[in-house]
Amino acid sequence: MRASDLLHPRPEGLYCPPGDFYIDPVRPVERALITHGHSDHARPGHAKVLATRETLDIMAIRCGPDFAGATQAMALGDRIRLGDVTVSFHPAGHVLGSAQILVEHNGMRIVASGDYKRATDPTCAAFEVVPCDVFISEATFALPVFRHPDAADEIGKLLKSAQQFPERAHLVGAYALGKAQRVMRLLRDQGYDRPIYIHGAIARLSEYYESQGIKLGNLQPATVEDGDKRDFAGAIIVAPSSSFADRWARRFPDPLTSFASGWMRIRQRARQGGVELPLIISDHSDWDELTATIRDTGAGEVWVTHGREEALVRWCELNGISARPLHLVGYEDEGD
């Protein structure tokens, strides 16, 4: 059997005929294996969903308890049989519960890594190298210009700014799942013990992280009643960046806008978004992490899913690894 007979793209998503399942399908299917809870990968409406316990919990929080007909939780490292293939989940280091999915059939091993990073993240299990024949990789930041600095140093910039401008509210844009909790945990790791104010869209997921043992400290709702603007002077407020355009954000005293994303490497992008304090903190691999990971897996073949496919395919070819883009559609940048 060729690798492409074991897994190949269909309009619904990446399909495994001998196992009769899809990985991160973008349309409702009979059986879906889900790598992690970001909305472009974890969609509601499948008959059966197999994922880590955390991903199932996150899907229930985001999509409601009836997000699938039936669910089955996979412990990391456990192997199960689906049709003629064996499947196991392994940590991806992307967000809480995120997993790579190893598909094995007659000695052939394909790893669908979903989204992943190698940098340290105190809010989720660290990426595990899974040796394989074919490695399926994302390519969100697959250009040599993308090199993520140490996230702790970026958080240091935020703390310094909050000290320097004690009269201004610091509004930090961060994706609701993963990035927001990572930013808060990094603040605590640097000794920040004041309350952190959070937008309502982040509350339930942050509570869930807490319930899973990821301590985020004193979190308070970032709600502004008329006339109490002073309360937020010098405060750090974490919110989805989409909320910055809302009336909600204008109520804070002289807000200083920050955004935690790998895209903040591109100054123009920060400027266009009106971001005064860009923080380069990404939950995706940068160029060095992508290329190192491909080497680490020992894969002789790489399939590239979403992002800047061309550069990564080219790098593989130059390094004697056969590679091709899968041209999967429907995956955006949630959680970058």
Q: Closest Cα partner for 76 from 97, 59, 57? A: 97
Which residues are near Zn ion by CB under 5 A? 38, 115, 335
3-state SS, residue 17: coil
Output the smallest distance, CB 86 to Zn ion, in A. 25
Output the smallest distance, CB 182 to Zn ion, in A. 13
Comparing CB distances to Zn ion, the nearer of 35 and 257 is 35
Output the smallest distance, CB 330 to Zn ion, in A. 13
Comparing CB distances to Zn ion, the nearer of 97 and 335 is 335
Q: Closest Cα partner for 260 from 243, 245, 242, 241? A: 241
Output the smallest distance, CB 141 to Zn ion, in A. 12
Q: How many other C-beta atoms lie within 10 A of the C-beta of residue 225? A: 8
Note whether 188 and 153 are within 8 A (CB).
no
Output the smallest distance, CB 266 to Zn ion, in A. 19
Comparing CB distances to Zn ion, the nearer of 124 and 196 is 124
Comparing CB distances to Zn ion, the nearer of 115 and 286 is 115
DSSP code of residue 203: H
Output the smallest distance, CB 20 to Zn ion, in A. 25
Comparing CB distances to Zn ion, the nearer of 38 and 105 is 38
Comparing CB distances to Zn ion, the nearer of 6 and 99 is 99
Distance CA 41, CA 52 (A): 14
Output the smallest distance, CB 235 to Zn ion, in A. 29
Comparing CB distances to Zn ion, the nearer of 19 and 97 is 97
Note whether 118 and 293 are within 8 A (CB).
yes
Comparing CB distances to Zn ion, the nearer of 57 and 115 is 115
Question: What are phi and psi for residue 318, nearest 5 degrees?
Answer: -65, -25
Strand order in the sheet with 99-105: 79-82, 85-91, 99-105, 108-112, 134-139, 301-307, 322-325
Comparing CB distances to Zn ion, the nearer of 71 and 98 is 98
Q: Which ranges of the chain would DSSP assign to H, the alpha helix?
A: 3-6, 53-63, 151-164, 179-189, 200-211, 247-250, 267-272, 287-297, 309-318
Distances from the Cα of 233 to the Cα of 16, 75, 252, 260, 334, angstroms: 54, 44, 8, 21, 30
Output the smallest distance, CB 285 to Zn ion, in A. 11
Tokens at 264, concatenated: 């903040």
Output the smallest distance, CB 52 to Zn ion, in A. 14
DSSP code of residue 125: P
Q: Closest Cα partner for 285 from 183, 153, 97, 138? A: 138
Distance CA 279, CA 192 (A): 17
